[in-house]
Structure 1
Amino acid sequence: MDKPEILKEILKSRKSTFPQNYSPEKIEDAVLSEILESAKYVPSHKKTYPARLKVFRAEEKDRLGNQLAKIYKETTAPENFIAKKYEDIPHKISMADTVIAICINFSGKVPEWEEIASTAAAVENMYLTCAVNEIGCYWSTPGMIRHLGDFLNLEENQKCYGLFYMGKLNREL
């Protein structure tokens, strides 16, 4: 198969896969490193490289799930609060092997949309690298991310734009 055909097959295989379709098997460190490395190969006007990816695994991932549940409880009006959703938030996080907070560092050197576009390209590269490694993944943008700044230790010029869930695919489904 020549390069254009290989590329076409990779692009066609890219898709979002949700945590309920992940197996409990761990993503190898080398594969995770490859996925993160792929995020670096993006256009970046004035070389600002705005994507800031914060990786959560094991206990740190559990802390993220508990923090999101806490945020949901604190920011939801009592009449709209759903106990099952509150319980499902940390459970959904626990089903992924790795969760990456997708953050953007706005440099002020270029229009914000360029840094958003560069970060989105980084995430697309991660999607494609996941696809070739048979890793399920998806980018989620729950409203709670607006309240994650302190937890993520974001600076004033940084903002969280979502969570990238990853896990080995459950072939039995």
Structure 2
Amino acid sequence: MIEDIIEKRRSVFPVQYNDKPISENDIIKILEAANWAPTHKKTEPWRFKVLQEKKLEFGEFLADKYEETTNNFSAFKKNKITQKFEQSACVIAICMKRDEKERLPEWEEIASTAMAVQNMWLVATDLKIGSYWSSPSLIKYADEFFNLAEGEKCLGFFYMGYFDEELPEGKREPIEHKVEWL
């Protein structure tokens, strides 16, 4: 049931991933699920850059950007940036392309892209692929690496990999604490 998959979804971090590669077919399944997210005025704003062969190059690019732009350089942090890309079987840059006519507020297109990522996360969970979305401050430099279209911007990175350990059970406050019936 879909409710079971939703409840099992967790952030699984690159340090938890094993060396098993993710097949192209599974990556396509994950991206196809993203493509079915709700979209106001059918703008379909989600865009993705799949990093497999270039993931290490992109990780180095971000690590170098960190070193160039930070006032508090830490070799540990620079190394941690590259490690995330090394440990991941696949990293997908999550981008959003604004409707050219700007017929709706930007937040709606960002929300639609976030729903696309939720769909990706749920399918990855069903496939037993760990994943998580990170939006580090370094995403503002993504346009220097990727060929982003006009009106397109990077919203973060979706790290993925298989994992061996059991994940903790999820915890949420009861929905009754968050709903007011009128």
TM-score, normalising length: structure 1: 0.91
- Residue from 80, 85, 92 that aligns with 1:100: 92
Counterparts of 1:17-166 in structure 2, within 5 Å, are 17-58=12-53, 60-77=54-71, 80-107=72-99, 108-166=102-160
* Of 149-158 and 90-99, the range deviating more from structure 2: 149-158
Q: Distance in 2 between matches of 1:95 and 1:172?
A: 18
Q: Distance in 1 between matches of 2:70 and 2:63?
A: 11
Q: Distance in 2 between matches of 1:109 and 1:62?
A: 38
* Of 109-118 and 148-157, the range deviating more from structure 2: 148-157
Q: 1:48-93, CA deviations, whole angstroms, 9 ceiling, x for partnerless residues?
A: 10001100003x001110111011011101xx10011112211121
Helix, strand or coil for the counterpart of 1:93?
A: helix
Identity across the alignment (%): 45
Q: How many residues align?
A: 165
Seen in structure 2, the aligned counterparts of structure 1 residues 172 and 115 have a Cα distance that, compared at 3 Å, is closer
Helix, strand or coil for the counterpart of 1:63?
A: helix
Q: Distance in 2 between matches of 1:46 and 1:8?
A: 28
Matched, 1:11 2:9: no
The aligned counterpart of 2:175 is: none
What amino acid maps onto 2:141 in structure 1? Answer: H
What amino acid maps onto 1:100 in structure 2? Answer: I
TM-score, normalising length: structure 2: 0.87
Q: CA RMSD in A?
A: 1.3
- Where structure 1 has 5 or more consecutive residues not aligned to the other structure, the ranges are 1-5
What amino acid maps onto 1:157 in structure 2? Answer: G
Helix, strand or coil for the counterpart of 1:52?
A: strand
What amino acid maps onto 1:67 in structure 2? Answer: F
Shift of 1:172: 8.3
Shift of 1:171: 3.8
The aligned counterpart of 1:3 is: none
Shift of 1:170: 2.5
Q: Distance in 1 between matches of 2:164 and 2:119?
A: 22
